[in-house]
Amino acid sequence: MNLDYINSFILSFYDFLKNQIDLESRKGRLEIKNMRSPMRGVAILIGISGELNGTILIDMGVETAHRLSSKMNGEPSAEITDLFIATIKEFGNLVCGGAVVRLDQLKRSFDLSPPTVILGEQMMLATESKSEILVIPFLSDLGQIDLNIFSARQKVNGRQTRTQHAHHFLPKDELETYQAFAVESCEALNDVEVRILRLAEDPCEIAPIFRALHTVKGNSGL
Amino acid sequence: MELTPDLMTLDITMPIMDGIQTLEKILAHDAKAKIIMVSALGKEETVKNALEKGARSFIVKPFDRNTVLERLRKTMGRAAP
């Protein structure tokens, strides 16, 4: 999970609401959860694969979903009809698709599964405890829409691919040291990113953040 | 495969068979078919792949009216009014 992913989804969401429905929206406080979260009534499930493997769950209340459907279709929406379901699916598809296009422009490649709509309050998406759920709430006149990104903890992220060019320039033993440094630093920086997000809720994260960065600094001196 | 439309638009993200596979199947049946891909997944690689496989154009969703009209006209070989 890194800032490129987060920003791409946030910008895609803002853009969609502004350009397609002419609505301002703002992001609420980001959260990281490790537990099951109840859904609020209407949810869209989309699988994501590539550098990040996981699931996106866009979650909202029934009223918000009907307001969204009304805006997208230009006609009132009050019941669960085929059009309503297709519209909600399309919303998920467009927001996630927009994020994937942005990430593609940053040379990060992802694929999305077709969206599935889930109806029902208090149902929960259950994940193993080592999985993290990043929650990005969006607030607008429609109501609150949460973007939940579930991913398994990534040990090394896209940063590592940049070391692949090093073999052109370094002798073998230096290359191995360089690669070990790159892998360890990527893991440390990945860890730091997630901890920074948690920092608002848990100030004790500051110590491990400093330790991790100090280690990277120390290793850089080799 | 009974109809012979003048123009088809195809989504990419679809259950069972995706838009690229559908594109290939249609063109195998009728190489002259005019197909415009319409998708939220407008990655560079995806667009290139679709055009290489024979799609006449690729519209990235969400789209605006003018883009759609312009692409339709171009594909159907008519000049803009």
Interface test with B, best of A101, A107, A112 (most B CBs within 10 A): A101
Greater confidence (A178 vs A101) lies with A101
The pLDDT averaged over each successive group of 10 residues in chain B (81 residues) is 83 87 92 92 91 94 89 78 50
Total domains in the fold of chain B: 1
What is the C-alpha separation between A193 and A85, in angstroms, rounded? 36
Q: Which residues contact A161 (CB under 8 A, 6 or more apart)?
A: none
Residue B81 lies in a domain: no
* CB-based contact A213:A190 (threshold 8 Å): no
Q: Which residues pair with A61 in a beta bridge?
A: A41
* CB-based contact A188:A217 (threshold 8 Å): no
CA A24 to chain centroid? 21
Whether residue A148 is predicted with pLDDT greater than 50 in this model: the reply is yes
Whether residue A160 is predicted with pLDDT greater than 50 in this model: the reply is no
Residue A180, SS3? helix
Per the structure, the complete domain to which residue B33 belongs is given by 8-76
Q: Looking at A79-83, A92-96, A160-164, B49-53, which range is the least confident one?
A: A160-164
Residue B18 lies in a domain: yes
A104/B14 CB distance under 8 A? no
Residues of A with Cβ-Cβ distance to B61 under 8 angstroms: 93-94, 97
Q: B14: domain CATH number?
A: 3.40.50.2300
Inter-chain contacts counted by CB atoms under 8 A, chains A and B: 41
